[in-house]
Amino acid sequence: MVDFVEGIPIPPEKIKETIDKTAGYVLKNGETFEDRLKNSDENGQFAFLKDENEYNPYYRWKLSGGEDQKKAETENTSVEERPVAEIPKPIDLEFLTELPPISALDLDIIKLTALFSARNSGYGPALLRYQTGKGNKHQFEFLKEAHSFHPLYKNLVKQYQKLIQLYESPELLGDLMTRLKESDKLFDNAYARAQYKKQHKDRIKDANNQKQERQIQFASIDWQDFRIVGKVYFDAIDEVTELSTPLSREDLIYRSLQAKNKEMELQKVKPVIKKPKEVTPKSKDISSEQVTSKEATPKEATPVPKGMKIKAAGESRLKNRKTNISNKMIRCPLTNELVPEDEFDNHLRTKLRDPRYEEQQNNFIKKNFLHESNLTNDQVYENIKRLAKKRTGEEVETDKRQHIT
């Protein structure tokens, strides 16, 4: 928009900036905003809003120009927001080939080879073997699929095969001639092809722009800005421990569904609260009579021989087993401490993981396991535990013998 219009005086720079800003706010908020400015104008800063002011024509001109510009912007946005019709893909041009950078001699060789392969289908590998035997291997490298000229060779073979089919079947040739006679459709097809190519290029461009924006956003992230939440230490046992097989996605889904079903079952089942029965005076009397009658009639006792103590079945055996279990201690080969048998497994595992006892662990292994073996780590651990229990048993027996002597 031009800054100078005939018949409209241009205000000074400061007043002009105020008028431009005010016109923009009035266009956004409506005429009510202009009325509020008029009523609250005590310093005369918005005097140009009055009709008798000399800069009011410039203000009105800015409003009219801004409205036209706003209409044009809305029209442009509406045009851009219209959905673009999908253009169908045109028929491929079978006889149009984009040539790569290639010399005329190589192109002639590829054309002749493609013509030979089209007329004698299936002889391409045989031709390569024949030329290789004659020493022309490098000249016919394009017959291999990995070569850069192989797509050109395959395209030429298809073209020659199509020409041979047209020559052999007059029906296909008649259809082609009718399509050539319809000149109007030829131009329509060319225009549709150009529109499709343009749309395809625009989509590729938009996709590349989106990809570039994602890369910029990814690069803008400060990947060095992190903090250490915790540390996990792995020792010698963790390196050789046989881990369980990893769970698949289906197993995790099944586990979660199973847990949900259990929760639902727990929510459905309500606790049954038994109400205490009301005891009437009559029932009290009856129950007391029953109790007294039971006490009055003692059970017939079986005769017991003199000097015999009767115990419950299995009482002495369980008691002896409990005392043996509770009193049985195992000496740890690493710390030389006496540990209860039921706590020995956890004690040994924790000490083996402790780096302070790494030297004792190595000495114990060197002393008791001199040769290499094909045992697994779990079997070695069981052997250490069994050896410690055996030594503890021998020490207990020696203590008993000394005590007896």
Domain boundaries, the chain: 13-81, 104-181, 325-404
Q: Count of CB atoms within 10 A of residue 113's CB?
A: 21
The span from the CA of 122 to the CA of 126, in Å, is 8
Torsion of CA 376, 382, 384, 386, to 10 degrees: -150
In the DSSP assignment, the letter for residue 45 is T
CATH architecture group of domain 13-81: Orthogonal Bundle (1.10)
Give the model's pLDDT for residue 296: 47
pLDDT confidence of residue 381:
63
In order of 19, 86, 141, 145, the CA distances from 41 in angstroms are 14, 56, 88, 83
Q: Name the most confidently modeled range: 30-34, 58-62, 75-79, 281-285.
A: 58-62
- Using a 10 angstrom Cβ sphere, with 0-12 exposed, 13-18 middle and 19 or more buried, the burial of residue 153 is buried
Burial 85-97 (b: 16+ CB within 10 A, else e): eeeeeeeeeeeee
Per-residue pLDDT, 298: 47
Asked if the domains 13-81 and 104-181 are classified in one and the same CATH topology, the answer is: yes
pLDDT at 207: 92
13-27, 62-76, 268-282 — most confident range: 13-27
Are 107 and 115 contacting, i.e. CB atoms less than 8 angstroms apart? Answer: no
Instruction: Enter the pTM of the model.
Output: 0.33
User: Which pLDDT value is given to residue 2?
Assistant: 45
Percent of the chain whose predicted confidence (pLDDT) is above 90: 4
Of 11-20, 272-281, 341-350, give the lowest mean pLDDT range. 272-281
**Overall average pLDDT of the 51-66 stretch:** 82
Average pLDDT over residues 289-304: 50
- Could you tell me the CATH superfamily of domain 104-181? Surp module (1.10.10.790)
| Neighbouring C-beta atoms of residue 17, cutoff 10 Å | 11
Q: Which of 167-181, 207-221, 222-236 has the lowest mean pLDDT?
A: 167-181
* Position 210 confidence tier, pLDDT thresholds 50, 70, 90: very high
Q: In one letter, which amino acid is 108?
A: D
Strand pairing category for 338-340 and 329-331? antiparallel
